[in-house]
Structure 1
Amino acid sequence: MIARNLKPFSVKNIHSNITIGDMIKTFREETAKYAVVYENEKIKGIITQNELLDAYLCGRHLTESIKDIVNDHVCFVENSCPLDKIANILKETPTMHIIVGDKNKEAKGIITNEVVLACFYAEIKKRIYTFRKEKKKAENHGHEYIFDDKKLTITELIDHLDQINLWNKELDQAFENSPNAFVILDGKGNTVRVNKEFENITDIKKEEVTGKNVKEMEEKGAYNPSVGVLILKEKRKISIIQKLQNGKEALVTGIPIYDENGNIFRIIINSIDFKELNIINQYYAKQKERNVIQAKAEDVKIIYESESMKRIMQLTNELKNIDSTLLITGESGVGKGVIARYLHHNGIRKKERMIEINCGAIPESLLESELLGYEAGAFTGAKKGGKPGLIELANKGTLFLDEIGEMPMQLQVKLLQVIQERQINRVGGIKPIDIDVRIIAATNKDLQEMVKRGKFRLDLFYRLNVIPINLPSLRERHADIIPMVAFFLDKYNTKYSKNVKIGKSILNMMLSYDWPGNVRELENTVERLVVTNPSELIEKDTNKSNIFSFHLYDHYSTNSDFIEKITPLEEAKRGIEKKLIQMAYKKYKSSYKVAEILEISQATAYRKIKEYMDEEQTLT
């Protein structure tokens, strides 16, 4: 007998770029029990409903690719493969899934122990029937029935029965010792069998339920609603949350099994204690929301405990495997570049290059040639063989355009063309070059306001702002300050071989301060505290670095009226900010210098100087 004579489980052939959500939809719409996954025209593995359930329990999002949850414990055989070879494979590795197909390796079905067992069972029934028929015929003619070499021998029959007995024992042990509760019903809803875990979850003994109809058990209140009753009514697979008589809840899934006439022959019911399911979900939720996330390809760490950053990270994890253009906004120093690197190094393009371009750091005269590259002889001083641009170098990977608001208007037109056409033209070149990049842009400026003032193209803004991510400032997430201080303190203690600890007085000052330079300012502050203080424990009185001479000490001393009396928090914050801006501007007389000393963007400094200095002039 060969593989094509078996009745393998039907399959659906899919590509590995399909999402978990689409895979769930496919299983709902198709009759296939398994999906064979192809990648680069080669079989990668299979997906079953169990893999999808495991992915859900692990907190995987529906928009993620199925690549990482593919079961690669498979082997491929052609449909001309002998049955005994398949049986030997499964005997050595019972959990193996055998994909059967044609010479072109197009999958036609899945063979498991269950399929082979059914085949053996059918063949033995057929041979026993033939044996009895021919034996009776021989006896009727007064002859002794003798086996010939072409017919089933007693030895073969015993071997087959022994194999069936072994598989039966294996299945029986798997059924009884499963960590999930199992119930088997007949076609009328009568309970044929339950396992040990059923007793543990329901507190109902086997003898109390065996032989009883599920309708009767439902009416007694043993479990409600009964998934068996629902399946007999609706003739389909059903999953429900079921309440049990002992007060517990369970996630219950029932699957109808049909005979050759299309009638329900058995109903297999699988139950998981809802409490256990919640524990699993909580565990993976904590894993997903742990305070430090480290990228695989690079030392990218994101430290957070605040609810606002938890929401940002949840969104980021949903977007990391999507190629849509992103615009990350937020004040200077909030970590826009860190988020961009995290998206790349944990996304579908992580094996390719990420090119970072600071649009404000490259001279305007060189920006076009740096971005787009140039051909030989394009201008005086051009390299002999030309040079690929940074966008071209990012092909297949990620292009991170930092400080996008600083990009000159004439270059914005060319960037828009790149995004729309996915092609570039080198400076001095005539042949377009195809590119495939994911674009992430970042800015601390208000691009919509720049559009109104004619400083930024509206069409480019819409192209970049497909999915916006706005990072909150550190003053909006004070819950992150202490874990960040702990992280940076450990980092720089290790770097400088020191064992500095920050005392309560300094920590309180840090918590009270608004950090206009955000995470960058906080990190720089911690580094300076570690480097410049000889004492292991730094308190306000022992701090020798003079690090807070402008930022924090003056903040306390010059604004004592806000500290010594109870004032609404927002009013106090605004008063301190106003005082700092006025002091800095009176001293330096330049919005650029104010921005530098307060570690904020020049646009923010200009806006706040205008606001607060106008107020002062009005009062005087």
Structure 2
Amino acid sequence: MVLLQKKKVVIIQATPSGRKALITGMPFFNEFGEVEFVLSYSYEVAELLVIQEYMKELEYEMSLAKEELSLLRKENLIIEGLTIENRSTRVAFETARNAATLDVPVVLYGESGTGKSTMAKVIHNESTRKDGPYIEIDCETTPEAMFERELFGGEFEDKETGLLTLSRGGSLYLKGIDKLSLHLQGKLAKVLKERKYTPTNTETALPLETRLISSSESTLTEAVSEKTFHQDLYYMLHIVPIHLKPLRERKEDLSALITNYLNRYSTAYNTAKKLSDDLFKQLLLLQWDGNISELKNVMERLVVQSPSNIIIIKDLPPEYRKEISEDLSIIHLEGRTLPSILEDVEMKVLRDAQERYRTTTEIAKFLGISQPSVVRKLKKYTDIE
């Protein structure tokens, strides 16, 4: 066959003893392009199967090692009040941790309840100022006249009560800085530019020895272009911008937080509640406009109000109880073979399990199949996409 085809040939051949052998023939050509020699070698198929099984076991061991490494990395990133499962959250945290040691201003962006205050505390705790004070002021809820007094202090009260003074050697977190009036934005810009401030009704300037961290629900870049935010202040604050996505876009974080708050409130109220699979899926599909604050409220209500230890969809507060069409009903059947339909179902089940469980080992236990099977199936559907 090699002589006829003048190329490498691989076949499976039966031996006189009845065994199967994989035979490979390789041609070697002379200077005239003719086959001068043929090198042939063979393996018993049984030997190849043994090698294949060995490779599968090796692949399984490697996947376990990767999972353990991933878990160890996650354990190193555990912070009270901050869940780091989603890739965008991890990027935000690593950016914050890198910026913390540089002692530069940081602006945190995100909807209300996405964890900006927690991230501000992380930055302070990871910085060289961690042993100094950490003070937070809400720019939106503090009246303008009182804000100036709170920030700078002055002769009308104890000079040490100004927040810039009280936070000396530490960090001052300006929550909702986009809500600050342009007048106060200008004053703050001057302080940052000169690196000193003068308490109200006094003449003695004090050095600025505070690290400023600020947050905003809206993009400051747009506010500058709309002339609702002081341009100089923007350039001085916007050194390291960090964006925190809403909870509805962080399914991995949401899944972990649901379990975390379920366990927390079950312990707090001396009970042992569990979520039905349908309810867990429902919670993952909700919008969570109030983000973590809203999720905490709903989880506490579920634990307190559910009559049985298994919490079901009917236990949801009325405003959250929505009918969801069964996903399987949208699978198109016409003109398709059963294996093709089953592949769609399998892919959906695996994705649902992937949203709920962190590792392929947990997914395998939940689905009642082996961990290598989970790895292969996930890789299969990832490759399809």
TM-score w.r.t. structure 2 length? 0.64
Choose which of 433, 436, 458 in structure 1 pairs with 2:209.
436
* Residue 309 to residue 402, structure 1, CA distance change in 2 (3 Å): same
Asked if 1 retains the 8 angstrom alpha-carbon contact of 2:248 and 2:254, the reply is no
Residue 484 (str. 1) matches residue 257 (str. 2): yes
Counterpart in the other structure of 1:368: 148
Q: Cα deviation per residue 1:484-518 (whole Å; 9 max; x = unaligned)?
A: 11111222222232322222121110111222222
Residue 500 (str. 1) matches residue 273 (str. 2): yes
Equivalences for 1:205-284 in 2 at 5 Å? Answer: none
Asked if 1 retains the 8 angstrom alpha-carbon contact of 2:96 and 2:123, the reply is yes
Distance 2:76 2:263 in 1: 15
* Residue 283 to residue 511, structure 1, CA distance change in 2 (3 Å): closer
Distance 1:540 1:359 in 2: 39
* Residue 427 to residue 510, structure 1, CA distance change in 2 (3 Å): same
How many angstroms does 1:401 deviate by? 0.6
Residue 332 (str. 1) matches residue 112 (str. 2): yes
Equivalences for 1:549-568 in 2 at 5 Å? Answer: 549-550=318-319, 552-554=320-322, 556=323, 565=330
- Of structures 1 and 2, the one scoring higher in RCO (CA 8 A, sep 6+) is 2
Choose which of 125, 131, 137 in structure 2 pairs with 1:345.
125
How many angstroms does 1:318 deviate by? 1.7
For residue 442 of structure 1, give the secondary structure of its aligned residue in structure 2: strand
Equivalences for 1:172-571 in 2 at 5 Å? Answer: 286-290=71-75, 293-294=78-79, 300-376=80-156, 383=157, 385-386=158-159, 388-541=161-314, 543=315, 546-547=316-317, 549-550=318-319, 552-554=320-322, 556=323, 565=330
Equivalences for 1:19-38 in 2 at 5 Å? Answer: none
Asked if 1 retains the 8 angstrom alpha-carbon contact of 2:78 and 2:84, the reply is no
Larger Rg, first or second structure (1 or 2): 1
Distance 2:159 2:110 in 1: 37
For residue 302 of structure 1, give the secondary structure of its aligned residue in structure 2: coil
* Residue 399 to residue 280, structure 1, CA distance change in 2 (3 Å): farther
How many angstroms does 1:535 deviate by? 2.1
For residue 289 of structure 1, give the secondary structure of its aligned residue in structure 2: helix
How many angstroms does 1:446 deviate by? 2.2
Asked if 1 retains the 8 angstrom alpha-carbon contact of 2:86 and 2:251, the reply is yes
Distance 1:494 1:561 in 2: 33
Counterpart in the other structure of 1:245: none
Identity between Structure 1 and Structure 2 (%): 30
Structure 1: 4+ residue segments shifted above 6 A = 279-285, 561-564
Distance 1:462 1:431 in 2: 27
* Residue 291 to residue 508, structure 1, CA distance change in 2 (3 Å): farther
Distance 1:501 1:292 in 2: 27
How many angstroms does 1:329 deviate by? 0.3
User: One-letter code of the match for 1:328?
Assistant: L
Distance 1:404 1:443 in 2: 6
* Residue 333 to residue 350, structure 1, CA distance change in 2 (3 Å): same
* Residue 374 to residue 564, structure 1, CA distance change in 2 (3 Å): farther
How many angstroms does 1:533 deviate by? 2.3
What's the Cα RMSD here?
2.7
How many angstroms does 1:393 deviate by? 0.7
How many angstroms does 1:330 deviate by? 1.0
The answer for unaligned runs of 5 or more in structure 1 is 1-278, 295-299, 377-382, 568-620
Asked if 2 retains the 8 angstrom alpha-carbon contact of 1:291 and 1:303, the reply is no
The answer for unaligned runs of 5 or more in structure 2 is 1-63, 333-385
For residue 341 of structure 1, give the secondary structure of its aligned residue in structure 2: helix
Distance 1:562 1:447 in 2: 40
Distance 1:348 1:280 in 2: 35
User: One-letter code of the match for 1:287?
Assistant: L
Distance 1:426 1:520 in 2: 36
For residue 411 of structure 1, give the secondary structure of its aligned residue in structure 2: helix
Asked if 2 retains the 8 angstrom alpha-carbon contact of 1:405 and 1:445, the reply is yes
Q: Which has the higher helix share?
A: 2
Distance 2:71 2:329 in 1: 41
Distance 2:69 2:126 in 1: 18
TM-score w.r.t. structure 1 length? 0.41
Distance 2:192 2:254 in 1: 38
Q: How many residues align?
A: 269
How many angstroms does 1:339 deviate by? 0.7
* Residue 386 to residue 452, structure 1, CA distance change in 2 (3 Å): same
Q: Cα deviation per residue 1:513-543 (whole Å; 9 max; x = unaligned)?
A: 22222222212211221222232210113x1
For residue 360 of structure 1, give the secondary structure of its aligned residue in structure 2: coil
How many angstroms does 1:286 deviate by? 4.6
Distance 1:363 1:516 in 2: 26
For residue 331 of structure 1, give the secondary structure of its aligned residue in structure 2: coil
Distance 1:505 1:280 in 2: 32
